[in-house]
């Protein structure tokens, strides 16, 4: 029952308690007003220090020294095979290829498929544009799949409903560093004869059942753009489970590679062409990301630890949860930590929650992930050999975009800041009748 619920004689619970306390000579309970209504701010941790703790990317002396060494050596492109070997070791992937960025890695992956024009690929609408738009260069058709509102990841049940005789592949994305349920997706794909391709652009270091994301499907990609968990400012990586896929993907955009392939390689004859593209990773990016890789797991541990210290307390508040993560999954956090609000259970709207939190000094935010199926380019047939079908609605997308809030990641020890954030949330919930 809420504080505004009637007790008797038209009294509210609050007035009843206050009158009773006065009759007994006791002080009435005092609730500190929200800062937006004149109360004191909960978060007093210095703003500059908060910004420093959440700053990303973070580069230091090692990255600067690595760049100087590359410049001084004059052997610029030696960095690329070094990084590829290190990434291969880290992920235990049979074949890898460094790319200019994540988008070029995705494009190469679609080229490697070698499917007939008109082939359909199941892909989330809740994703980056290149994951879908690169299909049009090869005549493929994106079939937009919803996301599970409890995870923000690929909704397998929706994919099953959209399977047709023209479906050839499935391309899930590990949203915000949370692994998709790849055991279920891969099992279903094998049953239906579909090729699995992973978009792991958000998921560096994430695992499921001890296996790195990007290695579950026949192919997978990573991005090393500046905002990513492993940043090199720009850069990408393709990962392939078979020699055939690797050679085709590498030949597309890497004109020097085919001459290194075995003589029986079908793409060896196209050495020197890159099939019209040049997707080579910049040596400076490779030098930077090599240094970043060395401390990746340690950084993940720090961030994950801080998220747990925060979320283990916040998710005890009515109506506040985090995306569901299975016990056999190890997630990472890309860009921010997502929380999901059930407005009915909480008793207030997300907009009012944000106003109240910001008033208390909490740097909470929202960012609606663009839904690809709503972009104009998909509805104009002139851009497509085989125009995609635009779904009428994506309820999972809408729910996640409409109910999430993001909390900044903390890349260091800051127990005082985390405690103040928790107290700010608790204060908002204690005063929710005002919202």
Residues 332 and 266 in one domain: no
Q: Report helix, strand or coil for 84.
A: helix
Residues 194, 181 share a domain = yes
Q: Cα-flanking dihedrals φ and ψ of residue 226, to 5°?
A: -60, -30
The answer to whether 39 touches 417, Cβ cutoff 8 Å, is no
Mean pLDDT of 153-158: 98
Q: What is the CA radius of gyration of the chain?
A: 25
Boundary of a domain, candidates 294, 322, 338: 294
Does one domain contain both 92 and 222?
yes
Let me know whether 82 and 50 are in one domain. Answer: no
Query: Is 70 exceeded by the pLDDT of residue 99?
Result: yes
> Per-residue pLDDT for 146 more than 70?
yes
**In a 3-state reduction of DSSP, which class is residue 192?**
helix
Helix, strand, coil percentages in the chain from 3-state DSSP, rounded to 5: 45, 15, 40
User: Which of the four pLDDT bands, split at 50, 70 and 90, describes residue 31?
Assistant: confident
Q: Residue 220 domain-assigned?
A: yes
Structure tokens at 259: 């001459």
Question: At 112, which CATH number?
Answer: 3.40.640.10
| Residue 241, in any domain of the structure | yes
pLDDT, tens digit, 9 for 90 and up, residues 298-335: 999 999 999 999 999 999 999 999 999 999 999 999 99
- Asked if 229 and 91 sit in the same domain, the reply is yes
The average confidence (pLDDT) of the chain is 93
Question: Residue ranges of the alpha helices (H) in 24-78?
Answer: 47-54, 61-73
On whether residue 321 sits in a domain, the answer given is: yes
Q: Which of 235, 267, 294 is the last residue of a domain?
A: 294
Element (H, E) at 420: helix 415-430
Asked whether residue 376 is domain-assigned, the answer is yes
Tell me, yes or no, whether 23 lies in a domain. Answer: no
Is residue 366 in a domain?
Answer: yes
DSSP state, 313? Answer: H
Q: Which domain holds residue 232?
A: 61-294
> Rounded to two decimals, what is the model's pTM?
0.91
Answer whether residue 17 shows pLDDT above 60. Answer: no
Residues 267, 332 within the same domain: no
Quote the pLDDT of residue 85. 98
Q: Which pLDDT tens digit goes with each residue over 224-264?
A: 999 999 999 999 999 999 999 999 999 999 999 999 999 99
Task: Tell me the pLDDT tens digit for each residue of 358-402.
Answer: 999 999 999 999 899 999 999 999 999 999 999 999 999 999 999
Q: Does 30 have pLDDT greater than 60?
A: no
Number of domains in the chain: 2
* 385 assigned to some structural domain: yes
The per-residue pLDDT for range 400-429, each reduced to its tens digit, is 999 999 999 999 999 999 999 999 999 999
């Amino acid at each position: 029952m809420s504080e505004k619920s009637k007790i008797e004689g038209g009294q509210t619970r609050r007035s009843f308690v206050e009158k009773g306390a006065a009759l007994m000579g006791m002080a009435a309970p005092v609730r500190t007003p929200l800062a937006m209504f004149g109360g004191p701010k909960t978060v007093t941790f210095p703003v500059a220090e908060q910004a420093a703790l959440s700053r990303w990317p973070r580069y230091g002396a090692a990255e600067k020294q690595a760049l100087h060494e590359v410049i001084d050596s004059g052997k610029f492109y030696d960095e690329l095979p070094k990084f590829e070997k290190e990434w291969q070791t880290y992920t235990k992937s049979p074949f890898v290829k460094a790319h200019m960025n994540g988008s070029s890695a995705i494009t190469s992956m679609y080229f490697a498929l070698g499917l007939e024009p008109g082939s359909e690929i199941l892909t989330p609408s809740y994703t980056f544009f290149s994951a879908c738009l690169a299909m049009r260069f090869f005549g493929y058709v994106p079939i937009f799949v919803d996301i599970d509102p409890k995870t923000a990841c690929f909704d397998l049940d929706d994919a099953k409903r959209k399977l047709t005789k023209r479906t050839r592949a499935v391309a899930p994305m590990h949203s915000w560093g949370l692994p998709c349920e790849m055991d279920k997706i891969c099992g279903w794909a094998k049953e239906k004869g579909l090729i699995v391709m992973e978009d792991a652009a958000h998921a560096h270091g994430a695992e499921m059942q001890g296996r790195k994301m990007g290695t579950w499907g026949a192919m997978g990609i990573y991005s090393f753009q500046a905002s990513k968990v492993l940043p090199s400012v720009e850069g990408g990586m393709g990962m392939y489970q078979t020699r055939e896929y690797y050679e085709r993907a590498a030949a597309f955009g890497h004109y020097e590679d085919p001459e290194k392939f075995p003589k029986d390689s079908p793409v060896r004859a196209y050495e020197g062409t890159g099939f019209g593209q040049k997707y080579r990773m910049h040596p400076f990016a490779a030098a930077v990301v090599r240094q970043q890789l060395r401390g990746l797991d340690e950084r993940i541990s720090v961030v994950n630890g801080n998220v747990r210290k925060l979320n283990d307390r916040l998710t005890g508040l009515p109506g506040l949860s985090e995306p569901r993560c299975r016990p056999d999954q190890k997630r990472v956090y890309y860009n921010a930590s997502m929380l999901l609000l059930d407005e009915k259970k909480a008793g207030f709207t997300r907009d009012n929650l944000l106003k109240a939190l910001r008033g208390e000094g909490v740097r909470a935010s929202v960012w609606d992930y663009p839904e690809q199926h709503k972009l104009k380019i998909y509805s104009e047939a002139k851009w497509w050999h085989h125009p995609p079908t635009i779904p009428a609605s994506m309820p999972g997308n809408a729910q996640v975009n409409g109910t999430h809030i993001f909390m900044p990641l903390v890349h260091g020890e800051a127990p005082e800041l985390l405690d103040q954030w928790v107290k700010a949330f608790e204060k908002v919930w204690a005063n929710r009748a005002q919202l």
